[in-house]
Amino acid sequence: MLQSLSVENYALIEKLEIEFKSGLNIITGETGAGKSILLGALGLILGQRADTSALKDNEKNCVIEGIFDIEKMNLKAFFEENDIDFEKQTAVRRIITPSGKSRAYINDIPVNLTTLRDLGLKLIDIHSQHETLHLSNHQFQLNVVDVVAGNSDLLTNYQQKFSSYKKEEQKLQQLIDEQKKNANDFDYYSFQFQQLHDAKLVDGEQQVLEEEERELSNAETIKSELQFCSEAISEAEGSVLTILKNCHQSLKRIKEVFHRSEALLERIDSTTIELKDISQEIQDLNEKIEMNPERLATVKERLDLIYSLQQKHRVTSIFELIELRNSLDKKISQISNSEEQIAAQRQLTDELLLKLREQASLLSEKRKAVSEKIAEYIATQLGELGMPFAKFKIDYLESELTNTGFDKIEFLFSANKQLSFQDVAKVASGGEMSRLMLSIKTLLAKQGDLPTIIFDEIDTGVSGEVADKMGGIIKDVSQDIQIINITHLPQIASKGDYHFFVYKESDDNSTSTQIKMLSKEERITEIAKMLSGQNLTPAAIQNAKALLKS
């Protein structure tokens, strides 16, 4: 339950602290005194967004803190999952700086707004006049039925399976879309691949072919020059070898008288051997070089093919062409196997869908099993709230599978015997909607599904004896859970265990909102004012005492 709320520098509040109790806490005050401001401050520690317009003084931080007794609320798992220290008396704090930055803390551990909001949903249920509109929301209606049916674990498990199913369904659709797209590309890919495959490309062959093409194209010139070199070294009259031979003989003749010629003779011998070797290699090369127009044409044709493929695919090497060929081969293989992939994925998706439908059917059965119980309870409550002929029914329609199953439900309502059932949003008046919502909230509270409940003028549209009955129901529910009830009706205010009064204080510089717990005498006066206005009458005082006594 909410034990205390402290608010500093928020809207009209400069600083205030409230200590709430278990049971029924009543809050009253004049219109505009700031009751809604308290709800706004409370909303901030429950994860609602804020901006600097919430600050009373734009040069100071806005600080809001709530202390909650959570000892019996089974929240240890939540704290463990979010790595937050669990404390029986848990402090939730929110700070908004003048620059607009927001910081949130749970037991002094910094948390993000999502975590704060998730915890807030487990701590407090706020019912405002606006929330009454939720009665016509099919999701809200379904949530009510699921709570009464005890579907929490089953629904969580179903939603996990639904999420998995949607992912697999998406994969299936992607495969189908890819197949459609690839089917258009298949012929193109096949043609490209076949052309590269038929080319029988070998990495490195381009360099070899280009060298061969240069030799074949210049064979006549090459042979001519090689022949010249061969003759110049060894064959022609006056060749290099002939001259060296003559030199060798000359040096040999002076060998006996000129010993230094021996070294020269050795060098001439070495040179002669080397030149003979060169001459032989030239002759061998010359013999191998042939003028072969047919081979030249073949090489040119092969190179033309390689060049055209490189130009077509905008690459510069055979290696890149081979990589492209392998890539095309892989794409063609994937397209060829797409039918098998789609069939396997469709089977997986169908199996998940079958299991999903089984769980959706179980959810639906459990919902329908409690529908009559819900209708009877609400009709009984409405009878106690001055609507003896009111009828309530839950109608089921089957829809496509969603993350809540295939049930689409409608709350149907009839205020009297003559009227047939119709959608609650179309036929219920403001006062009837308030009584319907109170009946639903009390039903949920009895299921143990609600934490502290805050009713913000749930009594809109009712008065007199109905208001008194409504107060009695709220009082009854408060025996099990803490209720904070903002009201403008004395019949309901008198039912409170504790009564807080919101008022404004003004001086020459500013106006601020204050709140205080009323004493017994102050409470009599406040309820009397609610009965008769500011001009208190003895009758109003007596009526106030009677209401409090009853």
pLDDT at residue 197, as a whole number? 94
Distance CA 245, CA 265 (A): 10
CA-nearest of 253, 234, 252 to 243 is 234
Least confident range from 236-240, 319-323, 368-372: namely 236-240
Contacts of 385 (CB under 8 A, 6+ apart): 435, 438, 439, 462, 466, 469, 470, 473
> How many Å apart are CA 137 and CA 230, to the nearest integer?
105
- 314 or 418, higher pLDDT: 314
SS3 177: helix
Per-residue pLDDT, 409: 92
Buried-exposed string 410-442: b where 16+ CB fall within 10 A, e elsewhere: bbbbbbeeeeeeeebeeebeebbbbbbbbbbbb
| Contacts for 24 with CB less than 8 Å, ≥ 6 apart | 474, 475, 478, 483, 485, 495, 496, 497, 498
Measured N-to-C along each axis, helices 430-446 and 464-477 cross at an angle, to the nearest 10 degrees, of: 20
What tokens were used for 337? 């196997």
Report the chain's C-alpha Rg in angstroms.
Answer: 48
Query: What are the angstrom distances between the C-alpha of 377 and each of 382, 412, 480?
Result: 9, 14, 18
- Decide: 65 and 21 in contact? Cβ < 8 Å: no
Q: Kindly tell me if the per-residue pLDDT of 412 is higher than 80.
A: yes
Q: With the C-alpha atoms ordered 458, 460, 461, 464, is the resulting torsion angle positive or negative?
A: positive
Q: Does residue 429 carry a pLDDT above 80?
A: no
Q: Give the pLDDT band (50/70/90) at residue 208.
A: very high
pLDDT at 550 > cutoff 80: no
Q: How crowded is residue 349: how many other Cβ atoms within 10 Å of its Cβ?
A: 19
Q: Please give the model's pTM, rounded to 2 decimal places.
A: 0.66
State the DSSP H helix or E strand holding residue 232, giving kind and residue range, or none if neither: none
For residue 130, name the pLDDT band (cuts at 50, 70, 90): low
In sequence order, the β-bridge partners of residue 408 are: 397
- For residues 2 and 66, is the Cβ–Cβ distance under 8 A? yes
Plot region of 108 (φ>0 → left; ψ -120 to 50 → alpha; else → beta): left
Higher pLDDT: 185 or 145? It is 145
In this structure, the number of other CB atoms found within 10 A of the CB of residue 407 comes to 21
How much of the chain, in percent, has pLDDT values that exceed 90? 51
Query: Where is pLDDT greater, at 227 or 132?
Result: 227
- Domain parsing of the chain, residue ranges: 1-128+437-518, 182-335
On the question of pLDDT at 143 being above 80, the answer is yes
With H, G, I as helix, E, B as strand and everything else as coil, classify residue 413: strand
Q: Could you tell me which of 209, 207, 228, 215 has the C-alpha nearest to residue 290?
A: 215
How many other C-beta atoms are found inside a 10 Å radius of the C-beta of residue 235?
Answer: 13
pLDDT confidence of 52, banded at 50, 70, 90? confident
**CA 177 remoteness from chain centre:** 24
Beta bridge partners of residue 453, listed in sequence order: 125, 483
Comparing 362 with 337, the larger pLDDT belongs to 362
pLDDT of residue 58: 87
Reply yes or no on whether the pLDDT at 33 is more than 80. no
Res 274: pLDDT? 93
| Residue 356 confidence (pLDDT) above 80 | yes
Question: 98 near 76, Cβ under 8 Å?
Answer: no
- pLDDT band with cut points at 50, 70 and 90 for residue 339: confident
Contact 46, 33 (CB under 8 A): no
Over residues 241-264, mean pLDDT: 89
Average pLDDT, the chain: 89
User: Residue 236 above 80 pLDDT?
Assistant: no
Residue 51 has pLDDT above 80, yes or no: no
| Model pLDDT, residue 525 | 93
Q: Where is 106: in which H helix or E strand?
A: strand 102-106
Query: Which helix or strand (DSSP H or E) is residue 396 part of?
Result: strand 391-402
Tokens (6 digits) for 98: 């003048």
CATH code matching the domain that covers 1-128+437-518, chosen among 3.40.50.720, 3.40.50.300, 3.50.50.60, 3.40.50.1860: 3.40.50.300
Cα–Cα distance for residue pair 192/325, rounded to 1 Å: 8
Report how far residue 414's alpha carbon sits from residue 417's, in angstroms, rounded to the nearest whole number: 8
Q: How far apart are CA 415 and CA 514, in angstroms?
A: 41
- Token digits for 538? 């003895």
Question: Integer distance in angstroms from the first to the last C-alpha of the chain?
Answer: 27
Residue bearing tokens 């038929």 = 198
SS (H, E, C) 155-173: HHHHHHHHHHHHHHHHHHH
Q: Whole-angstrom Cα distance, residue 312 to residue 322?
A: 14
In the predicted structure, residue 319 carries a pLDDT above the cut 90: yes
Identify any residues that bridge with 25 across adjacent strands, giving them in sequence order.
484, 498
Let me know how many helices (H) and strands (E) the chain has, helices first.
Answer: 17, 15
Averaged pLDDT, 150-159: 92
Name the strand (E) or helix (H) holding 337. Answer: helix 318-384
Q: Please, how many CA atoms are within 13 Å of residue 221, restricted to the half-sphere of its CB? A: 5
